[in-house]
Amino acid sequence: MAPKPKTYDVLGRDIAVTAYSGTAGSVPLEFADSWGSVDLSVVPGGRGGLRSAAVTGDIRDIGVSQGRSNLAQALILRLVTPQGSLEGLGHPQYGSRLVELIGRENNDTARNLARMFTLEALAQEPRLSQILDLTIATTPDAPDTIRIGFSVVPRNDDTPLSLALEVKL
């Protein structure tokens, strides 16, 4: 009997976002190392989409992230959202405290705080069954930046998901 294929319904589905730095980005959020802000992902669309400004008039629509890519996007967004900023929407604990590192020196204390703040934020995510690895490192070409890399195991999935982001102090 063939094994039942994995489903990722528990990981969810959401509007896809991408790195945004003044012009539309093509890099999915889970692959972005650093960014200035976040914007919606735009993909080729069907009926009801918007016509692009290009001469071709291609129809464009909002992209959707689902399964593992949705979880990856959600984890990055949780880490870059200041904890408490969604309190007015009923989510006072959502986010992380990584923004508290802005203005600090890149030293052992800051890196240990980054480790603690990342673990706190990841522990809030109900779609994770395990945190496998967490590395906090300096970036040689950017001394005011901390690189955070981690591997997690999603619920109902044995394959680890590895992500990284950079925090500019």
- CATH (domain of 27): 3.10.450.40
Q: Which candidate, 82, 72, 81, places its Cα nearest to that of 163? A: 72
Report pLDDT for 63: 73
Check residue 30 and report its DSSP letter. G
Check residue 55 and report its DSSP letter. T
Q: Please tell me the total count of domains within the chain.
A: 1
- Does the pLDDT at position 25 exceed 60? no
The answer to whether residue 4 is domain-embedded is no
Calpha distance 150→163 (Å, rounded): 6
- Mean pLDDT over the full length of the chain: 79
- Tens digit of each residue's pLDDT (9 = 90 or more) over 109-162: 999 999 999 999 999 999 999 999 999 999 888 899 999 999 999 998 999 999
Give the mean pLDDT of 31-54.
53
The string of DSSP codes covering 94-120 is -SBSGGGGTTS-SSHHHHHHHHHHHHH
Task: Return the top range by mean pLDDT from 12-26, 64-78, 82-96, 113-127.
Answer: 113-127
Torsion of CA 93, 96, 101, 103, to 10 degrees: -80
The answer to whether residue 3 is domain-embedded is no
The parent domain of residue 33 ranges over: 9-168
The answer to whether residue 1 is domain-embedded is no
The answer to whether residue 127 is domain-embedded is yes
**Angle formed by the axes of helices 108-123 and 68-80, nearest 10°:** 130
Cβ contacts of 87 within 8 Å, gap of 6 or more: none
Q: Which two tokens stand for residue 103?
A: 């203005």
Report pLDDT for 23: 43
Report pLDDT for 21: 42
Report pLDDT for 67: 83
Report pLDDT for 46: 59
- Contact in structure between 22 and 81 (CB atoms under 8 Å): no
The answer to whether residue 28 is domain-embedded is yes
- Tens digit of each residue's pLDDT (9 = 90 or more) over 123-134: 999 999 999 999
The answer to whether residue 101 is domain-embedded is yes
The answer to whether residue 58 is domain-embedded is yes
Q: What is the share, in percent, of the chain residues with pLDDT greater than 70?
A: 64
The answer to whether residue 2 is domain-embedded is no
Q: Which candidate, 80, 65, 71, places its Cα nearest to that of 161? A: 71
